[in-house]
Structure 1
Amino acid sequence: MLKEAGRQVLAYLDGRLKEFDLPLAPGGGALHQAVFRKMQAIPYGQTRTYGDLARDLGTYGQPVGQACGANPIPIVIPCHRILSANGLGGYSGASGTETKIALLKLEGGFPFLL
């Protein structure tokens, strides 16, 4: 499974893969699981805000942000596609917002960064 995950991540970074197909079982409570599912449902090249997810889940932006920050597998569960209402927001993956910007540019999902 690890080889397949690596193959899919490389294909994504090369622009050949738009959607991961891996059996995922990240830890976390019910809200984290719900946020992870919502993030996975955001199409390649699109973004949502913390507030959008919060409204969909009947909660607030801060718990959504905490769930995003607890994401154990960034890129595969695309927390880079979640933005604050007036900017980038944070990123739990390596190199923080630098990586978030690079992933958004890769997907063309945040036009004014291009």
Structure 2
Amino acid sequence: MNSKRKLYLEEEKLFFLHSYYQSGLSKHAFCREHGICCPALLNSWIKKYDNFSEKLSLLSEQESPEMSNRSKEAYKDENAQLKKRIKELEKALSFSKLETEAR
């Protein structure tokens, strides 16, 4: 089987690095989520663009809203959304467990 290597443009690499710093995910999880072949590739980009990495991580910190500037309503909305998402994930997990047992 021939596996084709995906070539990424510099803009794409920087975009992925910026997204990685914002995501808070592990390298492995981030690569799996974004279809990057392996964390080693992400590591090579981090090393290559080391001078950009500080700027990218600082940008992501600046873009996130300050905790003290958020209203109670914003916290309540976020909390409600997170609880809803947890329920959805728990339901999907239980379905997946049932499916696995059936197999």
TM-score in terms of structure 2 length: 0.36
TM-score in terms of structure 1 length: 0.33
Specify which structure has the higher proportion of helix: 2
**Computing the radius of gyration over CA atoms, which structure comes out larger, 1 or 2?**
2
